[in-house]
Amino acid sequence: MVSGDASHQRAHAVEWPTLVLAVVIYGGWLVVTAFHAMIPWPFLLIGGAWLIAWQSSLQHEVIHGHPTNTRAINDAIGFPPLALWLPYSIYRREHIAHHTTPHLTDPFDDSESNYLPHPGGLAHALAALEAILASRLIVGPPIRVCRFWWSEMRRLAHNPVTVARDWLPHLVGVMLVILWLNLVGLSLSRYLLLFVWPGIALSLIRSFAEHRASADPSARTALVTDFGPLALLFLNNNLHTWHHARPGVPWYRLPTLHHADPQAFAQAPRYPGYGAIIARYMFRPHDRLVHPGR
């Protein structure tokens, strides 16, 4: 059985698969945006969405201390704001908090919880839309972005120095991305519609059913035994129970852990693949909206 110890010492100072992946992602983004006029829009949408979601998976990887032993190098790899809306520093801070809380899925303690603390109001209406996979893919991206920006505006009123520290470097990065888009003749509106919106939607497939509220802590993290294209897109984060148990293990070693002990995490929700999640929840909610502990 898997150990609960989350620590993992890397055998190498540089994890080359992850470093090569970073080159592929950023190089692919430069090529696709530079030659966007030569690519039919359906293929541009597929490529753009994939690259945005893939970079999000890469950012998640570097947050956990990959691919080097030097945080400054890792943060530089994860920093470029290709999706424009979310500062890397905030993502990093909130995701680490997500891993350290003993109250996973609780909306008061888990920064990445999909549950509400109480029913009613606009938040309940928006959560009802996101609870169904079909509407989550369509309107989930703008809901997520607007909700996050609203929370940041409220944070600005109470802690302007910290907000400025998070946002000023991010905005410089956004300006550089927009300058590149202008240089290659890709309009911001087209980039938002063909890259950012569908890219966020792809990432929302991964997070849709990866956690479930339960009185049993071992049943709060799901296992999706999918080793197809989406597993590559999500850098094996579909093996989410393994990731939470061993967050220091690099993405390309997670399948080895799973295959060595496929019956581990007996209490965890299990799905044979993302196709099963789509079939089951495309038009019905994954779970209740309000956290059962509330």
2-16, 18-32, 94-108, 275-289, range with the lowest pLDDT: 2-16
Measure the CA–CA gap between 241 and 265, rounded to whole angstroms: 7
Check pLDDT > 60 for residue 11: no
Q: Kindly state whether residue 94 falls inside one of the protein's structural domains.
A: yes
Residue 8 confidence (pLDDT): 42
- What confidence tier does 5 reach under pLDDT thresholds 50, 70, 90? very low
Q: Does residue 18 register a pLDDT over 80?
A: yes
Note the pLDDT tens digit of each residue in 176-224: 999 999 999 999 999 999 999 999 999 999 999 999 999 999 999 999 9
Answer yes or no: is pLDDT of 100 > 60. Answer: yes
The domain of 162 spans 16-209
Q: In the predicted model, what is the mean pLDDT of residues 61-84?
A: 97
Residue 101: inside a domain = yes
Residue 28, in any domain of the structure: yes
Whether residue 148 lies inside any domain: the answer is: yes
The predicted pLDDT at position 12 comes to 60
Report pLDDT for 235. Answer: 98
Percent of the chain with pLDDT over 90: 94
Q: In this structure, is residue 272 part of a structural domain? A: no
CA-angle at 80, arms to 75 and 82, nearest 5°? 145
Mean pLDDT over 44-60 rounds to 98
For the chain, give the percent of residues with pLDDT over 70. 96
Report the distance separating Cα 60 and Cα 67, nearest Å: 11
Whether the CB-CB separation of 103 and 94 falls below 8 Å is answered with: no
Mean pLDDT for the chain overall: 94
Specify whether the CB–CB gap between 274 and 224 falls below 8 A.
yes
Residue 179 included in any domain: yes
- pLDDT digit string (tens) for 228-280? 999 999 999 999 999 999 999 999 999 999 999 999 999 999 999 999 999 99
For residue 64, count CB atoms less than 10 angstroms from its CB and return exposed for 0-12, middle for 13-18, buried for 19 or more.
buried
| pLDDT band at residue 1 under the 50/70/90 scheme | very low
Predicted pLDDT of residue 249: 97
Rounded to whole angstroms, how far apart are CA atoms 225 and 201?
A: 21
Residue at token pair 């094996």: 236
Asked whether residue 219 is assigned to any structural domain, the reply reads: no
CB 132 within 8 A of CB 283: yes
64 in any annotated domain: yes
Is residue 137's pLDDT more than 50?
yes
Domain count, the chain: 1
Helix 133-158 / helix 197-208 crossing angle, nearest 10 deg: 100
